[in-house]
Amino acid sequence: MVIPTLGNYGGLRRVLDAYSTQDAPPESFELLVVADLADPDPAAVDEAIGTRPYPIRRLTGNLAGASANRNTGWRAASAPLILFTDNDTIPVPSLVSEHLAWHRRHPSAETAVLGHVRWAKELRMTPFMRWLDHGIQFDFPSIKGVETGWGHLYSANSSLKRRFIERVGGWDEERLPYLYEDIDWAYRASRFGLRVVYNRRAVVDHLRHDATLEFWKRKVRRLAAVERDFVRIHPEMEPYFFELFSSARRQPRVRGRGERLARFVPRSVPWLGPRVWSATDLAYRQALAPHFLSAWEEADEAAAGSPQLGRSELERSSAGSSPGGPK
């Protein structure tokens, strides 16, 4: 099991505490905590790890960014199965056993198991947080059965066969150190026959206190620069977020009434629910669009002046953020 970490020491401690309560035997897994090279306090990582009833090692990524941390982790692992998760995703007691059982059920090298990521129950849910779950941060509601596409392979809770990772190659730590790194890896893996199955019982609770509109106004600026890089690497791919926010900018401004009603009206309410959430969706996209699109234009200008993206720009995108975010 590989957990990249950058800051968030209290959250990491809680995550590791929860692995002490797994219903799988402690000897059935080893946990590799990979501290980011940019972590400001490695001693705090060691303190959060402490002494555990299961095998655990602390490693350090060779470059800054989640991609390098994941590569460091899976390459150091000795197990044939690698479970990737995060320092803010608290596992339910059956997480490990569910992943193991599903790999026994699906033994082919190309089959990955996607687990479910839900908001931690202790958080105060907002309409914005619910909106993030529909194609922005994750998109679990769009998965109707067991089989799903490669675009849903979120490293916040997914497991793969080590031999398949070796066949595909690691995460692109030079060009995509943070944000879009999962999409890039899964897209490359799809060419090798990647198959993703969704186990709704393999659950982690996402404990993020900064899932706010103001935080995402900053985050989409980083996201824009990275998506621009992704479509430069894969010119055959459409820029998902660019199209999403460009479409919102072209539409008449909404007044925000949908967002106010969204606190009380679920999507499932006949007639009213879809209308309220359609307006809420547009309101949030229009609130974020200027921040994303201005950063996209800046990335375009930078690309015109320098065809090769340097690590310094990428490191600025990943610095100060724990691994995670939109996948």
Residue range 277-289: mean pLDDT, rounded: 96
Residue 238 predicted with pLDDT over 50: yes
Residue 59, Cβ density class (10 Å: 0-12 exposed, 13-18 middle, ≥19 buried): middle
What is the topology classification, in CATH, of domain 2-129+140-206? Answer: Spore Coat Polysaccharide Biosynthesis Protein SpsA; Chain A (3.90.550)
Q: What is the pLDDT of residues 13-51, one digit of tens each?
A: 999 999 999 999 999 999 999 999 999 999 999 999 999
pTM of the model: 0.90
The mean per-residue pLDDT over the stretch 276-288 comes to 96
Nearest partner of 36 among 16, 60, 9, judged by Cα: 60
- By the 10 Å C-beta count (0-12 exposed, 13-18 middle, 19+ buried), 252 is classed as exposed
Of 84, 72, 10, nearest to 35 by C-alpha is 72
Average pLDDT, the chain: 92
Cα 149-225-294 angle, rounded to 5 deg: 120
Per-residue pLDDT at 215: 97
DSSP H/E element including 116? strand 111-119
pLDDT at 309 over 50: no
**pLDDT computed for residue 321 by the predictor:** 32
Q: Count CB-CB contacts under 10 A for residue 24.
A: 18
Q: Are the beta carbons of 22 and 91 closer than 8 angstroms?
A: yes
pLDDT of residue 257: 76
pLDDT digits (tens, 9 = 90+) for 106-126: 999 999 999 999 999 999 999
Percent of residues, the chain, with pLDDT higher than 90: 87
Domain assignments of the chain as residue spans, ordered by start: 2-129+140-206, 213-318
pLDDT bracket for residue 79 (50, 70, 90): very high
CA distances from 311 to 1, 88, 239 (A): 28, 26, 22
Q: Categorize the per-residue pLDDT at 306 as very low, low, confident or very high, splitting at 50, 70 and 90.
A: low
For the record, the structure tokens of 85 come out as 């998760």
